[in-house]
Amino acid sequence: MNVLANDGISASGKAKLEAAGFKVITDTVAQEKLADFINENDVKALCVRSATTVRKDLIDACPGLKFIGRGGVGMDNIDVEYAREKGRTVANTPASSSQSVAELVMGQLFSLARSTYDANKEMPVKGSAEFKALKKKYAKGFELRGKTLGIVGFGRIGKALAGYALGVGMKVICTDVFDVDTNVKVHIEGHGDVDVQVKKVDMKTLLTSSDAISVHIPKQANGKPVFGHHELSMMIRGAVLVNAARGGVIDEDALIGVLKKGHLNAAALDVFENEPSPREDLLKTEKLATTPHIGAATVEAQDRIGEELADLIIADLKS
């Protein structure tokens, strides 16, 4: 049976599938040619990340497709319910990338706190001639220890982030539309896990109580941002904001506005509304640190994602 990993798959995941008798195709097929390719090559399983979409038209056009796998957490690029109604198996790998995303967010928080994201751009250009001026410019950083981190969306990634934040001495609160378990295990290497109960609050309380906020929720079905001008204006003046979840969760125009006005100290985005072509004015906004959707892009996470996808495909198509 043929598997098309249209957005790639780790070598370990590919090897596991091949050992089980599958042929793994890693060619990247253009979206408009995808249906024909799947049918012509009798593809039974399609694996995607965020670049490829699997909508109703593709599902209807490919009757031989049995399995649709998403390497990662969100499945907003797949018409999941429709596919399942049509008898397809749809699965993702929600646990595989949690640690990698959480570590990226912690890196962003440290970078925002000390403005290293900006200093790293300025020093090669002005460091030799304007060293003292740059030293003065970046001498107003703050420590994360003792600050309050508000986590919006307390699933696997939110909990992983909470463990890291608690480990560096931050206070952590969370909010979630679901009735989630807020117990977090903080792992201390060589000493085991420490259980910590994180306080769950409503959105208003989180916005008005957090020195830093990290967003870990999917793009809303209605397409409206969760963080618009009203919500951003409610945040503590001088707070920082990180989004490594999905583009569209934060209103980009509103974010540019609060950064320009100085209401927020800084923000970091790993995701954008118009990927893979985010707007240039946003990318050039001062006090904004940006990365090209690399939250889950670590060697370890990609290995876990590929191997978990392989296990899911084998279990579904070989059973």
Band (73; pLDDT cuts 50, 70, 90): confident
Same domain assignment for residues 128 and 74: no
Q: What phi and psi, each to the nearest 5 degrees, are found at residue 83?
A: -60, -40
Same domain assignment for residues 70 and 111: no
Paired strand residues for 259: none
Residue type, 59: I
| pLDDT score of 248 | 95
User: Residue 135 corresponds to which tokens in the numbers above?
Assistant: 């030293």
Q: How far is Cα 298 from Cα 183, in angstroms, rounded to an integer?
A: 26
* Catalytic residue annotation: 246, 275, 293
Query: Is the pLDDT score of 277 beyond 90?
Result: yes
| pLDDT score of 76 | 87
Q: How far is Cα 164 from Cα 162, in angstroms, rounded to an integer?
A: 5
| pLDDT score of 94 | 86
Alpha helices in the chain (DSSP H): 11-19, 34-40, 56-61, 80-85, 98-114, 116-126, 131-137, 156-167, 203-209, 229-234, 252-261, 280-283, 299-317
pLDDT tens, 210-258?
A: 999 999 998 888 889 999 999 999 999 999 999 999 999 999 999 999 9
pLDDT tens, 160-200?
A: 999 999 999 999 999 999 999 999 999 999 999 999 999 99
Mean pLDDT of the chain: 96
Same domain assignment for residues 29 and 8: yes
Query: Is the pLDDT score of 319 beyond 80?
Result: no
| pLDDT score of 23 | 98
Please give the average per-residue pLDDT across 135-159, as a whole number: 97
pLDDT tens, 113-138?
A: 999 999 999 999 999 999 999 999 99
Residue type, 71: G
Provide the percentage of residues in the chain whose pLDDT is more than 90. 94
Same domain assignment for residues 177 and 121: yes
Same domain assignment for residues 108 and 23: no
Return the closest-CA partner of residue 123 out of 137, 141, 142, 109: 137
The domain tally of the chain equals 2
At what angle are helices 98-114 and 116-126 packed, to 10 degrees? Answer: 60
DSSP 250: B
Identify the three-state secondary structure at position 130.
coil
Assess contact for 254 and 224: CB atoms under 8 A. Answer: no
Query: Is the pLDDT score of 25 beyond 80?
Result: yes
Band (72; pLDDT cuts 50, 70, 90): confident
| pLDDT score of 95 | 86
Same domain assignment for residues 307 and 266: no
| pLDDT score of 152 | 98
Query: Is the pLDDT score of 50 beyond 90?
Result: no
User: Residue 114 corresponds to which tokens in the numbers above?
Assistant: 């000390």
| pLDDT score of 17 | 97
Residue type, 301: A
Degrees, nearest 5: CA angle 217-220-223: 140
Same domain assignment for residues 279 and 243: yes
Same domain assignment for residues 89 and 35: yes
Query: Is the pLDDT score of 14 beyond 80?
Result: yes
Same domain assignment for residues 283 and 188: yes
| pLDDT score of 156 | 94
Neighbours of 57 (CB within 10 A): 11
| 176, HSE (Cβ side, Cα atoms, 13 Å) | 20
| pLDDT score of 40 | 98
Domain containing 307: what range? 2-96+299-317
Same domain assignment for residues 279 and 196: yes
Same domain assignment for residues 239 and 148: yes
Same domain assignment for residues 44 and 82: yes
